[in-house]
Structure 1
Amino acid sequence: MSKEIDKSRVISIILGGGKGTRLYPLTKERSKPAVSFGGKYRIVDIPISNCINSGFKKIYLLTQFNSASLHLHISNSYNFDRFSNGFVEILAAEQTLEHSGWYEGTADAVRKNFIHFKTQKPTHYIILSGDQLYRMDLNDFMDQHIKSGADVSIATIAVNRRDASGFGIMKIDDEHKITEFMEKPAPDLNIDDWKIPEASRDPMLPKEKEYLASMGIYIFNADTMEEILNNDKQDFGKEIIPMAIKTKKINSYIFDGYWEDIGTIRSFYDATLDLTNVKPQFNFYDEREPIFTQMTNLPPCKMNHADLTACIASEGCVITDSMISHSVIGIRSIIESGTVLDGVITMGADFYESDEEKAKNKETGTPNMGIGKHCHIAKTIIDKNARIGDNCSINVSGKKYENGDYGNFYVADGIIVIRKNVVIPSGTII
């Protein structure tokens, strides 16, 4: 790491995003960063862990929608000792004498919190997204930023022409200086002159990946940040960066690792199930750079005879006489005998039911927490604390649903999402 900066004067800011409508209904009662991921984690654990593993331990998380669950997770997970000078602090939108409204965009969210940031006397700000899956050595990012002499550095990733239409695209020169920015170029627009220069191109990069897309991850010099936010512009990608390119030196940091925006149900589903592959694109099993999360003190997963293929089973699960393939099983999941799961993500439960509660369930005909006996479920996300009765069939009958809300469940791109806390009666076919 460059000796030119003091890490204690670098502020990391994680943007919690808006209402998370593309991840609905997983975001109905929680913010995007608080959505469960990988069985035992939350999405927000990824950027926080990148910061901690890189030694940047002054972390603010900006959010405004459904933040109660996120507050609880952060307070239970990230407690630095008094000698580290580190913290993870949530800054939810608040009314002050200067500001009376919500965050109006990413840049607006940062601007409204300068009063909190400036007390740390920062030299640099690292801006991160709260809904992306990646591992990045932020030390290397910072080193390149310092060496380039840039006012701002933007993390970019190479994409093909088809994907380029979904991103902000950067044009760079042979020294990685960004000279132009284009927001989501139309598919039929000729952008050949925006291709990565050969002098800046990694020889290992696939030939079809010819353009640089912004990852929404930035490093700002502190004085530059304060200067270019001294206006009413609302968004970094659409307004602040295009404006800054005209007057500031903006550098591109080309990231060559795995990166996935998990802002939709489809991308969330695909990224989660990829974890079950023999060599997943994102590896949780790296002791040198762990992904941190809440310590639950749950017992190991218990298998009362089960046939599992390409699965992740989290702490506290109890699985009995079931066949499970290509699935991620969340904490405290109870799966009863005779059940078959294929391509299923369960987010588990927040608590175990007592014997008394189970007896009451029997009296009222309410299924116990978890998945009952002889169920067959495929291509489904089961949110927390769901109760699925015996002999239920979900997404295996061949019935096709249009995208949308169906009460106890939601459909997106053929993926069924069973809502949090719902009861699916025995014998239900979806």
Structure 2
Amino acid sequence: MFSEKVVSIILGGGQGSRLYPLTDNRSKPAVPIAGEYRLVDVPISNCINSNFKRIFVLTQFNSASLNRHIKNTYHFSFFSSAFVDVLAAEQTPMSQKWFQGTADAVRQSMHHFLKHDFEYFLILSGDQLYQMDFQLMLDNHIEKKAEISIATIPVNAKDATGFGIMKTDATNSITSFIEKPGKDLLPDWKSAVSKEMEAEGREYLASMGIYIFNRELLVKLMENPDTIDFGKEIIPQSIHTNKVVSYQFEGYWTDIGNIESFFKANLGLADDFPEFDLYNRSKRIYTNARMLPTSKVSGTQMFKAVVASGCIINAEKIEYSVIGIRSKIESGSTVINTYMMGSDFYQALEEILDENIVNMGIGKNCYIKNAILDKNCCIGDHVKIEGGPHLEDVDTPTYTVRDGIVIVKKGAIIPSNFTL
């Protein structure tokens, strides 16, 4: 059984321009992470692990691959009413516009949600990395007799300037909200946190973009078409008219909405004890069961490397890198500080043996450092790609440089002897 009280809504976000070029031909929730998963698997898995199994994913850009992934991955019993459905923006007699913001996306899709019997909406972002038991948040919501609950995470003064910050009273009710406060305002925005958080200087409560709404209240709030965003309008306005409660979360959480944070979050999985724990049996991250063969490694030195299924690796060295499914790396190549997403399929043998074709994966005697290699990249022999602060931001047909990170685009062909 699962909780019949909750319908979960995962907001797929807009065009995902901050994650370009990874979002050039796929929606943000469909971006591959951790070698085997997609971003959307994180919030969906958190819902399933919390026993909330009626889930909608809202999106409007490049949703074909996301639809395909969800259709192939999340299957429940024929005798269960559990589901994961993608709702793309659609024109109706009531609305002929695309989603204008997070709240507008929920408003335009409301007629789909209200077909179900439930008491609470759980609203989630589709571009965050964390493991959280939403049942505990719901229990706190009910115990506090809240109308809205907001998941918050304690942050330090340096990070607080980049978030929406909540101020709470002794009962954890939120009394005020400020968006990205300046350093001079911070002393007035401290809230009560645990001793562990206080010792780390994390005394400011940042919104995680995770909300629980009572059903009747959210339906009523959606009647105003002028409010289009939760973080900028719905939440600040509701603090003064409704009981809004903070639910403090002290685990690992990161927003991976831009290339730099995406890169760091993925490489962090290669740490000895990664903060995002993929090995926790009670907090599993689910994804498409591809039935791939085991990976094969020959003559390769590996230091803090994560290698997914179905890889064929003959590299000289792989260091602090994540190697995705079906990746192929030829002899003599070195890969450092790199996220290689892998491939969607294996090449036919006749193609691999054709000397006129640049094969998928990394060729012989290459040096790849500080890079993201999107799916199905074909990198020739003797290629050198070394990202770093010495590179200026640039966008070309085959690669993009952002903040010193080189992103080789999906399906790009990099010829032999190329140097960057």
> Which residue in 1 is equivalent to 2:365?
374
Q: Which residue does the alignment assign to 2:127?
A: 131
Counterpart residue number, 1:413: 403
Per-residue deviation, residues 10-53 of structure 1 (Å, max 9, x unmatched): 10000000111111100101111100000000011010000000
1:203 has 2:200 as partner = no
Q: Tell me the distance in 2 between the aligned counterparts of 1:37 and 1:63.
A: 18
Aligned counterpart, 1:280:
274
Q: Say whether residues 1:12 and 2:8 are aligned partners.
A: yes
* Matched residue count: 417
Aligned partners of 2:29 and 2:39 also within 8 Å: yes
Query: Which residue identity is paired with 1:191?
Result: L
Q: Which residue of 1 is the match for residue 262 of structure 2?
A: 268
- The amino acid that maps onto 1:27 is T
CA contact (8 A) 2:324 2:340 kept: yes
Letter of the 2:190 partner, please give it: K
Structure 2 residue matching 1:341: 3-state secondary structure: strand
Question: How far is 1:230 from its partner?
Answer: 1.2
What is aligned with 1:392? 383
Q: Which amino acid aligns with 2:196?
A: M
1:314 aligns with: 308
Distance 2:36 2:200 in 1: 37
**Aligned counterpart, 2:36:** 40
Q: 2:389–2:404: 8 Å Cα contact kept in structure 1?
A: no
Per-residue deviation, residues 234-264 of structure 1 (Å, max 9, x unmatched): 0000000111111100000010100000111
What's 1:3 paired with?
none
Q: How does 1:301-340 map to 2 (within 5 A)?
A: 301-340=295-334
TM-score, normalising length: structure 1: 0.95
User: Separation in 1 of the partners of 2:332 and 2:381?
Assistant: 10
Structure 2, unmatched stretches of 5+, are none
- The 3-state SS of whatever aligns with 2:270 is coil
Q: CA RMSD in A?
A: 1.3
1:194 alignment partner AA = W
Mapped to 1, the partners of 2:384 and 2:253 lie a distance apart of 34
* 1:226 paired residue number: 219
Residue 191 (structure 1) aligned with residue 208 (structure 2): no
Q: 1:376-414 CA distances to partner (integer Å, 9 max, x unpaired)?
A: 110100000000000000017x78221231331111111
Q: Secondary structure at the match of 1:219?
A: strand
1:117-156 equivalent positions in 2, closer than 5 A:
117-156=113-152
The within-5 A match list for 1:60-209 is 60-187=56-183, 189-197=184-192, 201-205=193-197, 206-209=199-202
Distance in 1, matches of 2:72 and 2:315, equals 34
Matched, 1:429 2:403: no
Using the TM superposition, give the Cα deviation of residue 209 of structure 1 relative to its aligned residue in structure 2, in angstroms: 1.1
Structure 2 letter corresponding to 1:389: G
Percent sequence identity is: 49
TM-score under structure 2 length normalisation: 0.97
Corresponding residue number in structure 2 for 1:236: 230
- Partners of 1:323 and 1:60 in 2: CA distance: 42
Quote the Cα distance in structure 2 between the aligned partners of 1:207 and 1:277: 22
- Deviations 1:148-193, CA, capped at 9 Å, x for gaps: 0010000001111221111111111010000111111123x32322
Shift of 1:321: 4.2
Q: Is the Cα–Cα contact under 8 Å of residues 383 and 418 in structure 1 kept in the other structure?
A: yes
Look up the equivalent residue of 2:382 and give its one-letter code.
N
Question: Using the alignment, how far apart are the partners of 2:17 and 2:306 within structure 1?
Answer: 28
Q: Is the 8 A contact 2:389 2:403 kept in 1?
A: no
Q: Whole-Å Cα distance in 2 between the matches of residues 65 and 186 of structure 1?
A: 34
C-alpha contact 1:171 1:212 (8 A) present in aligned 2: yes
- Is the 8 Å Cα contact of residues 228 and 244 (structure 1) preserved in structure 2? no
The unaligned stretches of length 5 or more in structure 1 are: 1-5
